[in-house]
Structure 1
Amino acid sequence: MSNTVKAIRIDAVGGPGQMRLVDVPVGAPGPGELRIRHHACGINYIDVYHRNGMYPLPLPAGIGMEGAGVVEAIGAGVEHLAVGDRVAYAGQPPGSYSQARVMPAKTVVQLPDAIDFETGAAMMLKGLTVQYLLRQTLPQAGLERGDFVLWHAAAGGVGLIACQWAKALGLQLIGTAGSDEKCALARAHGAAHTINYRSEDFVARVREITGGAGVKVVYDSVGKDTFERSLDCLRPFGLLASYGSASGPAAPLNIGLLAAKGSLYVTRPTLFTHIATRERTQAMADDLFAIVQSGAVKIPVERRYALADAAQAHEDLEARLTVGCSVLIP
C-alpha cells in the first residue's frame, strides 16, 4: 500500500529557498516502524543546521525532527502503540515536515489526552532537551535548590521551557537574550535574573549577580559567540554544557584553559544519545508530560505556519524574530 503526501525536501544545502514542497510516496511500515499522520510539526534550530549543511545529511533529504499526530499503521514488533493512538515524537531520521511519514517507533510515545497536537509537536524536542540538560547533564556537585545556572538564549523555545522548569526545581536561572523585550519574556517565564547581551557584559553581570562566585553550570546553545566567555562565568569545578551552535561552531578548545579557570568540565551532549532506546525515551517523556500537566511548565506556541511556508518559518527563525515555539500545520 502506498499513499502520496506533501512533504518538504532539500536536494542541496543552502538557504531557506532550498526547501521544496513536493509529493512523496509513503508506504506501509516495516518491522519496528509506524506510519503517523501529522497534525502539527515542530520547528527547531537543528532543522536549519540540516538545511544549511552544518549537520550534513545524505541528499536528497527530508527536514524536521519532531511532530504529533495519529498512528495510521504499525509494523511487526511494535507493541507499545496501536492504530488510532495520539502520539508525539522527537527523533531521527529527519522528515517531520510532511503530512505523513513512516519512521522508527522507538522514539514515538503516546500523547496524553490533556495535551493538544500543536503543544505536543512544539514540546518534544525542546522539552526533552531541557529534561536531559536540567535533570541529567549536571555539574560535579549536582544542582540543589537555590543554585545559580546560566542559560543562553533564554527567550527561545528551549529557553522559555528551561526558565519554567528551573524555577520549579528551585534553581536561580540567569538568562541571556538579545533585547530588553526578550529579557522581560524570560523573566515572565521564571528566570530569576536576565542579561541583555547586546547592552551588558554578561560575564561581569553573572559575577555581580552571584557575588563573585560564578555559576555551577552554563547551558549554551549559541556556540562561537559565547563559548569561551561562558567559561569565565563558572565557579571552580563548574560545567559548560555546549548543546548547540546558533552563532556557528565554537573555536577549538585549548584544554589548558580548563585548568587555568578552575578545574572546569566541558561536555557536548545531544538529545539523540539520550533517547537511543525506547525505555529511556519513555522515561524522559513521562517526566516532561508530568511537569507540563502539572502547570509548572507551559509550552508557548507563538507562531503557526502552513507546511508550504516552511521557508518563511526558517527565515524568521534565523533572523531571531521568533520567541517561544513555532509549528507547521500540514
Structure 2
Amino acid sequence: MRAVRVERVGGPEVLTVRDVEEPQPGPGEAVVDVSCSGVNFTDVYSRTGLYPNALPFTPGSEGAGTVSAVGSGVTDVRVGDRVGWVMVPGSYAEQAVVPADRLIPLSDAIDDETAAGALLQGLTAHYLVRTTYPVRSGDDVLVHAAAGGMGLLLTQLVKHLGGRVIGTASTPEKADLARKAGADVVVGYDDVPAAVREFTDGRGVAVAYDGVGASTFEATLASLRPRGYFVSYGNASGPVPPFAPLRLSQAGSVFLTRPTLAHYVAERAELLQRAEELFGWLRDGTLTVRITGRYPLEDAARAHADIEGRRTTGKLILVP
C-alpha cells in the first residue's frame, strides 16, 4: 500500500510517498479503501511540527471511501459501506484504519469528493455558526480569508442564517469569489477596522471568524462591537503571540475563544447530528463546496505549497 509519510518535520518537501504494509483492523476498527482525502491547514501544522506527532507519521485527517474490512465488535458499519471520516490521522494513503464509531455513513446523494472536501471544513463551519457563536438574523459578521475553503462555507452559512458578511480577501479575483458566495462587502487586509466601522455605522461586528491568526489579530480585535465575539479557529499566518487579557476589556469587554472541532464532535451522536445537518445543506443547495484542486499522492508536497502560498481558493483533495 502507498502512503504519504513525514519522517522529519519541515517544509512541503518532507512529504514523500512510501510503500507500507497493508493495515489490519483491530477491535472496534475498520479499514477503508480511500477514494480521496481532504487537504487542510491542520495537515500543514502537523507537517511543520506546530501540532506535534510522533515520527514517522502519515498526515491527513479527513477522507472518504469504502469499508474493506472490519475488526471484532464492529456493528456501526459493514464491508462495502461508503463512509467518510474526520479528525482521524492517516488519510493521505490508499487505505486508512479508522475507529468504526468515527465513520459517517454516506448516502447516494453525497459523492466521495464532496464528503472528503466538506467534512472537516463543513463541520467546523457548522459548530462555529451554530454553537461557538450562534449567528442570528441581522448580525454583522467578519469572515477573514472569505475566498478560502472555510471562508466560502462560513459566508454561505452566515447569509443562510440571516447575517451580513464583511469578508477579507487578498486579490480582486478572490474578492469576486467571496461576493459570489454572498458576502455583502469584501475588503483588503490593509485597514479592516475602518472598513468594518463604515459598514456597520460605527458599531463593529457581533462576531469575527478568524482562521488567519497572527497577522489579522489586531485588526480583528479592533473590529468588534462591545461584548462581541472573537472566534480564532486557525493559524494560517502563524499562532497569535501571548497578550494581556486586559486588552479584551479595553476592546469593549469582548470574548475570545480558540475552539477546535474535536471538542464539538467528541460524542458519536453529536458527530452524526452535525453531519446530518451539513449533508442536508449540501443536498438542498444551501452550501456549495468548491473543489478547486485534485492531486495524486505523489503531489502532496505541491498541494501543501499551494495552500501555504495562498495560491488557492476553495478546497484541495488528494486522490490515491
- Greater Cα offset, 297-306 or 72-81: 72-81
* TM-aligned CA deviation for residue 28 of structure 1: 2.4
After the TM superposition, list the runs of 4 or more consecutive aligned residues in structure 1 that deviate by more than 6 angstroms: none
Q: Does 1:209 find its partner at 2:199?
A: yes
Paired AA for residue 74 in structure 1: V
Q: Which residue is 1:236 aligned to?
A: 226
* Residues 191 and 219 in structure 2, CA contact (< 8 A), matched pair in contact too: no
Q: Report matched runs for 1:96-135 at 5 Å.
A: 96-135=91-130
Q: Give the letter aligned to residue 150 of structure 1.
A: L
Instruction: Output the amino acid matched with 2:92.
Output: Y
Q: Which segments of 5 or more consecutive residues in structure 2 lack a partner in the other structure?
A: none
1:245 aligns to what? 235
2:278 is aligned to 288
Equivalence for 2:31: 35
Does 1:180 pair with 2:175? no
Aligned length: 320
Q: Does the 8 Å CA contact 1:107/1:277 hold for their aligned counterparts?
A: no
Instruction: Give 2:112's aligned amino acid.
Output: F
CA distances 1:16-72 after superposition (whole Å, capped 9, x unpaired): 110110011133211221111011111001111100111111111110010010011
Q: How does 1:56-205 map to 2 (within 5 A)?
A: 56-92=52-88, 94-138=89-133, 142-197=134-189, 200-205=190-195
Of residues 3, 8, 11, the one that matches 1:7 is: 3
**Aligned mates of 2:286, 2:230 — CA distance in 1:** 26
CA-CA distance at 1:287 after TM superposition? 1.1
Deviation at 1:271, TM superposition (A): 0.5
1:322 has 2:315 as partner: no
Distance in 2 of aligned mates of 1:163 and 1:169: 10
Structure 2 Cα separation of the partners of residues 112 and 175 of structure 1? 33
Q: What TM-score results when the alignment is normalised by the length of structure 1?
A: 0.95
TM superposition score normalised by structure 2:
0.98
Question: Is 1:257 aligned to 2:252, yes or no?
Answer: no
* Partner secondary structure for residue 53 of structure 2: coil
Residue ranges of structure 1 left out of the alignment (5+ in a row):
none
